[in-house]
C-alpha cells in the first residue's frame, strides 16, 4: 500500500509518500514541501498548491491520501488557509477515486512516538528512524506529512478513516479500489511514463 | 460585467449570476443552490460541490467571482466546510483566469440594504427589488449569492478585492482580462454552445 500524507498549509504544505513493506516496515518514496508566495492573492496561492497537489497525485498514484484533520479552534490566523488546502487535497484525491483518510495531530504523534503530546523534534527523529533515513526530514511540515502517511499504514484495523463522518461505505471502498486498480494497471508498463498518462 | 456570487457552504452553497446594466442597474442571469449529502464523506461532498462550481463557471463565464469572506471565529461547527468550499470556488476561478473578489457579510448587507446589520429577510427583499424579481430568491443562500454579486458590481472604485491581501496587481488584472477576452470571444458565436466549448 502506498500512502500520500498531506500536512496542509497555505505557506508551506508538507507532502510525503510512503510504501508499506512486510513486517510493519515502511519505505520513503518521496517527500517535499509545496510553497506559495505570501505576497500573492489567496486565489492564486490556492491555485499554486492545487496544481502541485495534482502533480504529486499523478506522479505517485497513492492508494490513500492521508490528510491532517484541521480544527477550527487552533491558530485562528492561519486556520482558513490550512482548511482550504486540506479541502483541495481531499478534492484532488476524490477526483481520482483515491480514498481520503483524516487523522488528528494527536493520533499522528501517538502512532509514531507513542505519545499524543510529543514535540515536533521527537516526531522528526522518529520518522527518520522508522524510515531509516540518514537525517531527520526537514522542515517539520515534511516530517509531519511522512508521519501522517506512516500513521495511516499502521492504523488499527477498521479505522480507514479518522472519524465517523469520513468512514467510507463498503460500496465506496470497492468502487475506489476498482477504479484505482484500473487506473494503475496501464501506467506500470513504461519505466517512465509521462506524468499524466495514468489519468 | 458579469459576476458570479458564491455564498460558500458544504450543505448548501448559494450561487448567483448577475449582469450589470447601464445606470447602476443589474439583471439576474441565473441563481441556484449547490447541495451535498451530509451523510457522505467530506471528500466526496467537496468533490460534488467542486464539480458543480466548475459547471457554473463554464456555463456562465463570469468576469469576476465574488466569494463571501469566511472568518474563523464564526460558526465553529460549520466553518471548516464553509472555508473549504470558499477555497474551491477561488481555485475554480483561478484555474480559468477569472479574478476573485472577497466581500464580508457586513459589506454585502450594507451595499444592498444600506445597513451592515440587516437581517436575512431584508437582504432577500432588497435583492428581489434590485433585480425586479416577482418573488424574493429562496433559500437565503441563493439570495446571499446574488447580493454578493450585486455588491461587487456596486463596489467603490478601486475596491476590486475585499481586502489588502487579495488586491490584484495591475499585471494580474491585465493578464486576467486578456485571458478572459481571448476565452470568451469564440464562445460568443453559437447561440447555445456546448457547456465546455469555451475552455
Return the C-alpha cell found at B50: 467542486
What residues are paired with B7 via a beta bridge? Answer: B14
Per-residue pLDDT of B48-81, as tens digits, reads 999 999 999 999 999 999 999 988 766 677 889 9
B198: pLDDT strictly greater than 60 = no
How far apart are alpha carbons A146 and A133 in whole angstroms? 12
With pLDDT > 70 as the criterion, what percentage of chain B qualifies? 76
- Do residues B68 and B105 make contact, with C-beta atoms less than 8 angstroms apart? yes
Chain A within 8 Å of B164 (Cβ-Cβ)? no
Return the C-alpha cell found at A32: 517535499
pLDDT at A60: 98
Chain A residues with CB under 8 Å of B167 CB are 41
How far apart are alpha carbons A155 and A17 in whole angstroms? 16
Please give the order of strands across the beta sheet that includes A25-35. A25-35, A12-21, A2-7, A64-68, A100-103
How far apart are alpha carbons B195 and A58 in whole angstroms? 26
Torsion of CA B54, B56, B60, B61, to 10 degrees: -30
Question: Residue B9 to residues A179, B79, B123, B128, B168: CA-CA distances in angstroms?
Answer: 29, 8, 18, 22, 25
How far apart are alpha carbons B2 and B99 in whole angstroms? 12
Task: Please identify among residues 71-90 of chain B the ones whose CB lies closer than 8 Å to any CB of chain A.
Answer: 71-73, 76, 79-80, 83-88, 90
Q: Which residues of B8-17 are buried (b: 16+ CB within 10 A; e: fewer)?
A: bbbbbbbbbb
Q: Is the peptide bond before B139 cis (omega within 30 degrees of 0)?
A: yes
Q: Which residue has the higher pLDDT, B49 or B184?
A: B49
How far apart are alpha carbons A17 and A62 in whole angstroms? 8
Please give the order of strands across the beta sheet that includes B64-68. B25-35, B12-21, B2-7, B64-68, B100-103
How far apart are alpha carbons B153 and B173 in whole angstroms? 16
pLDDT at A70: 86
* Average pLDDT score over residue span B95-120: 94
Nearest CA in chain A to B88: A88
Beta strands B64-68 and A25-35 are unpaired
CB contact (8 A) between residue A43 and residue B80:
no
pLDDT at A23: 84
Per-residue pLDDT of A73-89, as tens digits, reads 666 778 899 999 999 99
Per-residue pLDDT of B24-38, as tens digits, reads 899 999 999 999 999
- Residue A114 carries which DSSP code? S
B190: pLDDT strictly greater than 70 = no
Q: What angle do CA B62, A85, A19 make, to 5 degrees?
A: 130
Which CATH superfamily is A2-187 part of? Answer: Ribonuclease H-like superfamily/Ribonuclease H (3.30.420.10)
Distance of CA B113 to the CA centre of its chain: 18
B83: pLDDT strictly greater than 80 = yes
Q: Residue B36's closest CA among B88, B71, B99? A: B88
CB proximity list for A44: less than 8 A, separation 6 or greater: A36, B94, B172
CB contact (8 A) between residue B80 and residue A91:
no
Q: Residue A53's closest CA among B98, B44, B102, B88? A: B88
Per-residue pLDDT of A34-90, as tens digits, reads 999 999 999 999 999 999 999 999 999 999 999 999 887 666 778 899 999 999 999
CB contact (8 A) between residue A93 and residue B43:
yes
B166: number of Cβ within 10 Å:
20
Low-confidence ranges of chain A (pLDDT < 50): 158-172, 175-176, 178-179, 182-183, 185-199
- Do residues A19 and A26 make contact, with C-beta atoms less than 8 angstroms apart? yes
CB contact (8 A) between residue B43 and residue A83:
no
pLDDT at B161: 45
* Average pLDDT score over residue span B136-162: 82
B112: pLDDT strictly greater than 70 = yes
Return the C-alpha cell found at B184: 470568451
What residues are paired with A139 via a beta bridge? Answer: none
pLDDT at B166: 46
How far apart are alpha carbons B53 and B4 in whole angstroms? 10
Residue A190's φ and ψ, nearest 5 degrees, are -75, 140
Nearest CA in chain A to B65: A43
B162: pLDDT strictly greater than 50 = no
- pLDDT grade for B189, boundaries at 50, 70 and 90: very low
How far apart are alpha carbons B8 and B70 in whole angstroms? 8
Give the N- to C-terminal CA distance of chain B in Å, as an integer. 19
A119: left (phi over 0), alpha (psi -120 to 50) or beta: beta
| Cβ pairs bridging A and B (under 8 Å) | 99
Mean pLDDT of chain B: 83
* Average pLDDT score over residue span B105-120: 92
Amino acid at each position: 500500500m502506498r500512502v500520500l500524507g498531506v500536512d496542509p498549509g497555505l505557506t508551506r504544505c508538507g507532502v510525503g509518500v510512503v510504501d508499506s513493506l512486510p513486517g510493519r516496515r515502511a519505505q520513503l518514496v518521496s517527500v517535499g514541501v509545496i510553497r506559495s508566495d505570501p505576497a500573492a492573492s489567496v486565489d492564486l496561492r490556492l491555485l499554486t498548491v492545487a496544481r502541485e497537489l495534482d502533480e504529486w497525485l499523478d506522479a505517485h498514484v497513492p492508494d490513500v491520501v492521508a490528510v491532517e484533520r484541521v480544527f477550527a479552534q487552533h491558530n485562528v490566523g492561519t486556520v482558513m488557509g490550512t482548511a482550504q488546502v486540506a479541502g483541495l487535497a481531499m478534492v484532488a484525491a476524490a477526483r481520482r477515486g483515491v480514498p481520503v483518510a483524516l487523522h488528528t495531530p494527536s493520533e499522528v504523534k501517538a502512532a509514531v512516538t507513542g505519545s499524543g503530546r510529543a514535540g515536533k523534534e521527537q516526531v522528526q527523529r522518529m520518522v527518520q528512524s522508522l524510515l531509516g533515513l540518514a537525517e531527520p526530514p526537514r522542515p517539520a511540515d515534511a516530517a509531519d506529512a511522512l508521519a501522517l502517511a506512516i500513521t495511516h499504514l499502521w492504523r488499527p484495523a477498521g479505522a480507514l478513516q479518522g472519524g465517523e463522518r469520513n468512514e467510507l461505505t463498503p460500496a465506496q471502498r470497492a468502487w475506489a479500489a476498482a477504479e484505482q486498480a484500473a487506473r494503475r494497471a496501464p501506467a506500470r508498463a513504461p519505466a517512465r511514463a509521462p506524468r499524466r498518462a495514468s489519468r
